[in-house]
Structure 1
């Protein structure tokens, strides 16, 4: 199973926020207070692994609600929340899972609290998940009731622990071994070095030890299940905490290896510019960065932005303008060119791409997209929305995105303007630019030729604007989600 996206609707300051997941690595970044940790909490709630097989720390491959979520009595009560996941279980159609919360009023025997329901009641996904929250960062030296136990690591895992500890922390110590330690808050594989035991562990060593323990837990689950093993999810909050820059990037490189060997989706939160810069050339379907920002009190997600964009946001500084090598896009015709440019207005993408028009039939554009010829190596393609109908049941061509909706741009605008009420501000009653006048000669909106002539009618130019800008802007006003989705699709393929 692979998670594809998470849709948060009216959850705290996430009014309409979509998180996208990479097939291997997913990064959730942003300034403090943007809801990053809450997203990991929802993912943890999605999974309820039925098999009673324990991890190396003695816990099961699932997380209790109380360990990952805290609802605020002042602000959350008594609201009920709904979140939606889409995931791929290997079929042709994405599956959907909806989680709803229910607020339960205090009774004689219990305090006010929330419970989560899946598709009504029960039905969480039977899939293993490990959640490494901030509790793991409590230093062992500050813990109480510390007990040293005998670990049951195989020689393979013991060697793995030793080798990866040295590699990630960049240590010249051939005597690193794992010690199983239980304290008041956690059970961990601590590091015994040539100079000291578990009580001498730094917070960074403790952090790495628990991440390696999670990976080895999946290795033991894979060996236990054999052919029935289907992978898993590893969630890590503030992955960079307590680690210096060199160790952070070493850790990321080894997590990539683990995603391949153990078929894992690894999802983590971070503020680390070192990690984000290290990943900037790896972005795509396997690696996705979600950068959360707050505009007018609401969370917006920018998917796979440039490293410079994230760096400036995290540092709260103005970026340096530099000449950007633009990614060339080819579209079907002049109308598509106008609309693409309009859809990108006001975004960081406007200066990152160039648009060239046809006329090209969509079949020719698909052939170009699928061609390995050097002339198309760096070119991307935008197809009209109606092409989706022609490609039903087929894979989307590479390096290709679609314009919004499932119709030609002319038809979309025709239907949209026709649907506006007579009193809409788009019309100019004083000059008798009304719906009646606008469509008097163009009643058959199903005829492509009629719609094309309607759009190009010179009488409408003062009202449609140069390059149909006024027309497109009116459509965008009512279709903000479509605009954001198109921009995110463009980001993903450049």
Structure 2
């Protein structure tokens, strides 16, 4: 058995062992000293798709190279449809400067950077360090992944072992920008298009259907299993194309890139069948995923990759500069999604000292991408909602009911500020205003308790009645008559309204004061003008002794009912437009 591969004999021979393998890439960690720009930064990877975004030169390709280098199958037992083993190698992805990044650092006695890659292997944690070493004969830098801590790693069921310097046995494919080399700009003699007679039918169908789900094929091609392998000699560019009505040399850059992605996915499809229960999942790493694709195709591509990743137990890690791709999986666009998200955005910000952005909204990402300064948000002016009442007497009564707490509740629930406007108008005229002018459908109308709301319920939702006392016939009383009846009881009766009596004692106001200054003598309160005159002449005492407040404390049920009606009416009325 090759070091770093699955121990098939142990897996198949042991009783009670679950042979379903699972390997997941968890994170990449950079500590001090920095690996290039990257220090003290942790990149967490999602279970399905991780998109990495950020400015040019910030370290995205370095991240892809390191995670690709950490895993793979190093022998040729299994090969992809690119005719390569399932592994990535850092020196084939990014260039490491032998002199500046290794020799000069060691000569100065400085510590070399060591990024760490975290995995779970059948549920057990495994950490790999990425160690820079030299090949003196070639004057070339190598990055070797070593178990951390050192020594052999083996799962409890002995099904998977990883040698001290071996790659983690997670089949890996890296797709770089070589997939985008334009065929039209290449030497025709180097271009090789051959009919693929060896590809298995199920993989041919996989490639065809995957491509068709992103960029629709012609009807004839949708029913064909023909596959053409296209390659450019002297480059890493290879891809398998479905049937077109034209040569595969004539495809667009987007179609070329799509075929390379489909070829990679079909390779995992083949591998999953070949390995059966020992298949541990896979890692597909793609540089510049959006390159060559129209925004609509990008959205379709993400959907197709998501489906394939779920079917093939893949983790897909890709870099992008596309807001369209970012929007397609950003959690902000999925507010109802519950549980741990399967996909994630890793946005790296600050080119000088890269760090992962935390809780960045789409607007934050867009602003950082374009380096635009966010304008200070203008404080939105809360809409004003007027509440009309019959007269000043009603205003005097109502302004004590509409407390700061009630105003705050209206603002919170209806998003409006109340403004009271007393008129000099009878209840019937006030009630009929909305019929004559639509403006009065956008305001509240508060009638005295002795009034009636006239009209259909759907036409009078903005009209409410103030609370008040009742007469012998259970008919509501106006504010002035309500207060007079209340004070008369306090002045001449020995019981009732204990809260109000306690307040009067606190204010050192006796029944004698009430009789002398408020309700002594005979007053015809049934006469509207007399009642108004009584109240206006006594406003000073009514205010200083907080008579309305005392009435409210004794009629909390009625007042609470009115408050709820007011909030409900305000909420509905605030939405009315004319």
Matched with 2:30 is 8
1:233 to 272, 276, 283: 283
Q: Is the 8 A contact 2:74 2:85 kept in 1?
A: no
Report the TM-score when normalising by structure 2.
Answer: 0.52
What do the CA deviations read for 1:241-265 (whole angstroms, capped 9, x no partner)? 0111011110100111112100000
Q: Is the 8 A contact 2:179 2:238 kept in 1?
A: no
Residue 115 of structure 1: how far off its partner (Å)? 4.1
Q: CA RMSD in A?
A: 2.3
Matched with 1:81 is 113
Secondary structure of 1:260's counterpart equals helix
Residue 101 of structure 1: how far off its partner (Å)? 0.8
Tell me the distance in 2 between the aligned counterparts of 1:240 and 1:173. 26
Q: Is the 8 A contact 2:58 2:354 kept in 1?
A: yes
Residue 146 of structure 1: how far off its partner (Å)? 1.7
Residues 379-418 of structure 1: pairs in structure 2 closer than 5 A:
none
What do the CA deviations read for 1:29-75 (whole angstroms, capped 9, x no partner)? 00101100110100111013145211112111012332112113564
219 and 112 in structure 1: CA distance in 2 versus 1, 3 angstrom threshold = closer
Residue 118 of structure 1 pairs with residue 149 of structure 2: no
What do the CA deviations read for 1:244-294 (whole angstroms, capped 9, x no partner)? 101111010011111210000000000101111121235954112111112
Matched with 1:100 is 131
What do the CA deviations read for 1:419-458 (whole angstroms, capped 9, x no partner)? xxxxxxxxxxxxxxxxxxxxxxxxxxxxxxxxxxxxxxxx
What do the CA deviations read for 1:92-140 (whole angstroms, capped 9, x no partner)? x532221211245x5xx43343342423661221120000011111022
Report the TM-score when normalising by structure 1.
Answer: 0.60
323 and 100 in structure 1: CA distance in 2 versus 1, 3 angstrom threshold = farther
Tell me the distance in 2 between the aligned counterparts of 1:218 and 1:115. 26
Tell me the distance in 1 between the aligned counterparts of 2:55 and 2:45. 19
Q: Is the 8 A contact 1:191 1:206 kept in 2?
A: no
2:72 to 23, 45, 48: 48
Tell me the distance in 2 between the aligned counterparts of 1:112 and 1:153. 37
Residues 316-395 of structure 1: pairs in structure 2 closer than 5 A:
316-319=371-374
Residue 265 of structure 1 pairs with residue 315 of structure 2: yes
309 and 205 in structure 1: CA distance in 2 versus 1, 3 angstrom threshold = same
89 and 291 in structure 1: CA distance in 2 versus 1, 3 angstrom threshold = same
Secondary structure of 2:350's counterpart equals strand
Tell me the distance in 2 between the aligned counterparts of 1:250 and 1:199. 24
What do the CA deviations read for 1:434-490 (whole angstroms, capped 9, x no partner)? xxxxxxxxxxxxxxxxxxxxxxxxxxxxxxxxxxxxxxxxxxxxxxxxxxxxxxxxx
What do the CA deviations read for 1:347-374 (whole angstroms, capped 9, x no partner)? xxxxxxxxxxxxxxxxxxxxxxxxxxxx
Tell me the distance in 1 between the aligned counterparts of 2:376 and 2:256. 42
Tell me the distance in 2 between the aligned counterparts of 1:41 and 1:263. 21
2:91 to 63, 66, 74: 66
What do the CA deviations read for 1:187-215 (whole angstroms, capped 9, x no partner)? 22135412x11110111111000000011
Secondary structure of 1:82's counterpart equals coil
Residue 290 of structure 1 pairs with residue 343 of structure 2: no
Secondary structure of 1:164's counterpart equals helix
Residue 314 of structure 1 pairs with residue 369 of structure 2: yes
Tell me the distance in 2 between the aligned counterparts of 1:39 and 1:61. 18
Q: Is the 8 A contact 2:221 2:244 kept in 1?
A: yes
Residue 167 of structure 1: how far off its partner (Å)? 2.1
303 and 257 in structure 1: CA distance in 2 versus 1, 3 angstrom threshold = farther
Residue 193 of structure 1 pairs with residue 248 of structure 2: no
Secondary structure of 2:39's counterpart equals strand
Higher CA-based Rg: 2
Secondary structure of 2:309's counterpart equals helix
1:150 to 195, 199, 207: 195
Tell me the distance in 1 between the aligned counterparts of 2:227 and 2:358. 39
1:220 to 245, 270, 288: 270
Tell me the distance in 1 between the aligned counterparts of 2:141 and 2:121. 33
